[in-house]
Amino acid sequence: MESIQIASFVVRFQLAAVEKETGKKQWRIKVTHVQEERETLFETIEEATAFMMSMVEDS
């Protein structure tokens, strides 16, 4: 019987700053890997996505 692998993540976006001149928002992104109870902070969604992909590929 094959075992089923599950990877769950909680992703939270918190506004860190807004550039006065451009109005561009800077986000703090916290990703929690539920199974390992591991929290990691990122500045971009690309970094957060890469982290989640590496967690899934390593499991």
Of the candidates 44, 37, 34, the residue with the CA atom closest to the CA atom of residue 9: 34
- Predicted local distance difference test score (pLDDT) of residue 5: 86
pLDDT at 1 over 80: no
CA 31 vs CA 2, 16, 21, 59: distances in Å = 28, 15, 29, 17
Is 90 exceeded by the pLDDT of residue 58?
no
Confidence (pLDDT) at 4 = 84
- Let me know: does 28 contact 40? Beta carbons within 8 Å: no
Q: Is the pLDDT score of 50 beyond 70?
A: yes
List pLDDT tens digits, range 11-48: 999 999 999 999 999 999 999 999 999 999 999 999 99
